[in-house]
Structures are given as structure tokens and as C-alpha cells.
């Protein structure tokens, strides 16, 4: 069975759905952002402050390159990992890419006033979400499977993914 790679914008449920998938499939769960923080010894917010988004994206690509060799894993990526084609290519080596989607309104409800989202530390976060979604739409569309998470529980999303991926479960 191939890895399941979760992509999608922040607040679409990648972390919780990834946890459920790994439990049900007996796969390891790897969160790219957590791995970046662990290896760098600082938070994503600190990396953005010190090195800017390009510096963060370089670190993200390095971690993804390493993780692409993992097997029997659910890999949860950061929302912008799809911006680099090399990341998509590496993740596809041993995985099926699943993009989780949600409307900007759903995303705002889910993430609330989270200060750990450096790209949303702006005057109008809803407008920024819409801009980012629009700019990333073509990248997200390159996923093998797209799952709308609006009005669905994480468990319903996980079961839909298992059915679409063909794990024989869900």
C-alpha cells in the first residue's frame, strides 16, 4: 500500500484526518511542519521571522525529500508544500496525493484567531485566505484525489479517503 499524502490549505483537517488514517491503517503519521520544527529547533513562526517564507520553503523541501522515502506512512504536509513541483514529485514517489478542501468561511471557523499561522497575521485574514486559495488552486488541483471537508467530521473524511484510495477499509 502506498503512502497517503495529505495536502490542502490550513484548516482543512490534515492533522486530525491524518491521525485517524494512521490509526485505522496501522501506518506511521508524519507531520511535515512538526518535523521541520524538530529538526530546526524552532517554531514555524520563528523560521518565518528569521528566514522569511523562501527560507522556510527550502527547509520544507529538504524534509519532504527525506520523507518521500518513507513507507506505510500518512504524511501531512503544510498548506504551501504544493507550491514547489519538486515537493509534489517527491511525495508522489511512494504516495498518493490527497487534497483536502474547504471554503474560506469554514477555514476561518476552524482556525479562529490562531497566532501560529504566520501567513494570516494580517489586517484581513479572510481576504488573505481567499487570495492564497486562489493562488494555490492550480497546485492543489494536481492531487490524485480531492476531498471536500465542509460539513464533514474528520472521521467521515478519513473513511472517504480510505474508500477512494482503495485500502479495503472505510
Could you tell me which residues come within 8 angstroms of residue 151 by beta carbon, excluding any fewer than 6 positions away?
none
pTM: 0.88
Q: Report the distance separating Cα 8 and Cα 146, nearest Å.
A: 9
Q: Per-residue confidence at 152, pLDDT binned at 50, 70, 90?
A: very high
DSSP 111: H
Q: Residue 111: its pLDDT value, please?
A: 80
Predicted pLDDT of residue 129:
83
The answer to whether residue 30 sits within a structural domain is yes
Q: Is residue 56 scored above 70 in pLDDT?
A: yes
Mean pLDDT, the chain, as a whole number?
Answer: 90
- What's the rounded Cα separation, in Å, for the pair 143 and 95? 11
In a domain? residue 170? no
How many independent structural domains does the chain possess?
A: 1
Residue 115 sits in which domain range? 3-165
CATH number at residue 62: 3.40.50.300
pLDDT at 121 over 80: no
Q: Three-class SS of residue 117?
A: coil
Q: In 3-state terms, what secondary structure has residue 51? A: helix
Q: Is residue 135 part of a domain?
A: yes
Lowest mean pLDDT among 15-24, 61-70, 82-91, 106-115: 106-115
Amino acid at each position: 500500500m502506498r503512502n497517503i499524502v495529505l495536502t490542502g490549505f490550513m484548516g482543512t483537517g490534515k492533522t486530525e484526518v491524518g491521525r485517524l488514517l494512521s490509526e485505522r491503517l496501522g501506518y506511521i503519521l508524519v507531520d511535515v511542519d512538526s518535523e521541520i520544527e524538530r529538526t530546526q529547533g524552532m517554531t514555524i513562526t520563528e523560521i518565518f521571522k528569521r528566514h522569511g517564507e523562501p527560507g522556510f520553503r527550502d527547509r520544507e523541501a529538504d524534509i519532504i525529500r527525506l520523507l518521500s522515502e518513507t513507507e506505510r506512512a500518512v504524511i501531512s504536509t503544510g498548506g504551501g508544500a504544493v507550491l514547489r513541483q519538486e515537493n509534489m514529485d517527491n511525495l508522489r514517489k511512494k504516495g498518493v496525493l490527497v487534497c483536502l478542501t474547504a471554503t474560506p468561511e469554514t477555514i476561518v471557523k476552524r482556525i479562529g484567531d490562531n497566532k501560529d499561522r504566520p501567513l494570516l497575521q494580517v489586517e484581513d485574514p479572510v481576504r488573505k485566505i481567499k487570495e492564497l486559495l486562489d493562488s494555490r488552486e492550480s497546485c492543489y488541483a494536481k492531487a490524485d484525489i480531492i476531498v471536500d471537508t465542509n460539513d464533514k467530521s474528520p472521521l467521515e473524511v478519513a473513511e472517504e479517503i480510505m474508500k477512494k484510495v482503495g485500502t479495503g477499509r472505510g
